[in-house]
Amino acid sequence: METKVILYGASGHCKVLIDILNLLGIPIEQIVDDNPAVGSVVGIPVVLSKEFTKQDNLIFAIGDNFIRRKLSKKTNATYFNLIHPKTTISPFSTIEKGTVVMAGAIINTDSKIGVHCIINSGALIEHDCIIGDYVHISPKVALAGNVIVGEGTQIGLGALVIQGIKIGKWSTIGAGAIILKDVPDYAVVVGNPGRIIKYNDVIQDE
């Protein structure tokens, strides 16, 4: 990509994206954030969102799934995918715009990844998985074949999901959880085997 990119969000997640962009030789035009207290990220100046107007080649550098969704609904921008060079991605898989794939991630054949997702370091997504929009697959997560993950769900560090499982939208899977059966919408699941301990608030469209 020759055009400079814009990162929206001045967080720790932003620092990781900067590393990937540097590896790929992609220049950064600016970093945008809503917090006036954040002046720069690794020496790159941050401008307030109300001060920027150009919205070409933008990517959300924000770990929170709900905030990425909220901003995407109100931001009229063109997005791109940011994929670390040390990944393994099947040519028969599909990745929608605005998604980030971190170092060491593996996405196998016929898997489908939605918009504005985060596939974090060392995550494994096996064949025929379907990952909804705004999902975050944390580092070292392993999804066996034919797993479906609903919109906005967070799967925590090192969690394992057996084949054929369906995980509902806006659910939270705790770090290290072992998922052996389907998970309903908004459920918070922890442990081995995974058990529901509570439910997240229902997401309301604004």
- In this predicted model, what pLDDT tens digit does every residue of 126-172 receive, in sequence order? 999 999 999 999 999 999 999 999 999 999 999 999 999 999 999 99
CATH no. for 5-74: 3.40.50.20
Two domains, one topology: 5-74 and 82-196: no
The pLDDT tens digits for 30-76 are 899 887 677 788 888 888 877 666 677 899 999 999 999 999 988 88
Q: Which residues pair with 155 in a beta bridge?
A: 137, 173
State the catalytic residue, choosing from 13, 116, 127, 136: 127
Task: Say whether 127 is catalytic.
Answer: yes
CATH class of 82-196: mainly beta
User: Taking the domains of the chain in order of start, what are their residue ranges?
Assistant: 5-74, 82-196
Q: For residue 170, give both structure tokens.
A: 């806006």
